[in-house]
Chains A and B, each alone.
Chain A
Amino acid sequence: DGGITQSPKYLFRKEGQNVTLSCEQNLNHDAMYWYRQDPGQGLRLIYYSQIVNDFQKGDIAEGYSVSREKKESFPLTVTSAQKNPTAFYLCASSVTGGDYSNQPQHFGDGTRLSIL
């Protein structure tokens, strides 16, 4: 089945540790996104990528890094510089361009990150 796969579902980070969240999609979507959601809050954009080998900072990029070496994959690294990483992380993808500019984003089922 086509979809977006995030792993792991739950992740624990120790002090000073970098951790990487995986996001893979087989929908052939050009654009991919990372959001963070805190309890009782909406989704805030961390990074997005509209094409392979290119990505842009969102509203809260500090303490995070991404790469987009393949169309299917958009991993997010939460670095030790992110002092409050506990949140629900959501990856999304969408088609882009032309007649598809008004298409919605579709989400993976998320990764919950906590500090040990």
Chain B
Amino acid sequence: RKEVEQDPGPFNVPEGATVAFNCTYSNSASQSFFWYRQDCRKEPKLLMSVYSSGNEDGRFTAQLNRASQYISLLIRDSKLSDSATYLCAVKGTALIFGKGTTLSVSS
């Protein structure tokens, strides 16, 4: 099993849709989790950290399920500008990244 796995997509959704991404991790001792956004040919940028109790930032909600070892990202009311690749990351000595899930939002 790979350390961090994501469904690569692509997810093609219309504007206004709700979309959810999942990410599984193999190291049960992992303590820190993050979602990054990466635009085409750009560096990843931190979208949000993922806290044990779940957390929300505007239209974005992150959840952690330690028992099943997965984290999720929910995007509500999708905008065209949400089109990007979303990378989950799990903290070891350094961050370990999934391969990313591509989201395409269309009008």
Instruction: Mark A residues whose CB is within 8 Å of B.
Output: 31, 33, 35, 40-43, 45, 48, 50, 56, 58, 88, 90, 92, 101-110
Residues of A within 8 A of B31 (CB): 101-102
Residue pair A58, B43 in contact (C-beta under 8 Å): no
B107 part of interface (Cβ distance < 8 Å):
no
- Contact of A41 with B43 at beta-carbon distance under 8 Å, contacts A101-B32, A102-B91 already known: no
- Are B32 and A56 in contact (CB-based, < 8 A)? no
Number of interface residues of B (CB under 8 A): 23
Nearest CB on B from A50, distance (A): 8
Give chain B nearest CB distance to A77 CB in angstroms: 19
B20: Cβ under 8 A from any A Cβ: no
Known contacts: A42-B87, A42-B99, A110-B43. The answer to whether A104 contacts B34 by CB under 8 A is: yes
Question: Which residue of chain B is the closest to A31 with respect to CB atoms?
Answer: B94
Chain A nearest CB, measured from B56 CB (Å): 18
Contact B44 A45 (CB under 8 A): no
A35 to B43, CA, bound (A): 11
A48: chain B residues at CB < 8 Å are 93-94
Q: B94, A42: Cβ atoms under 8 Å?
A: no
Residue on A with the closest CB to B88? A42
Residues of A within 8 A of B98 (CB): 42
Bound together, the chains give a CA A45 to CA B90 distance in angstroms of: 13
Q: Is B95 among interface residues, defined by CB-CB distance under 8 A?
A: yes
Q: How far is the CA of A107 from the CA of B89 in the complex (A)?
A: 13
| Contact assessment for B46 and A106 in the assembled complex, using a CB-CB cutoff below 8 Å | yes
Contact status A43-B87, CB under 8 Å:
yes
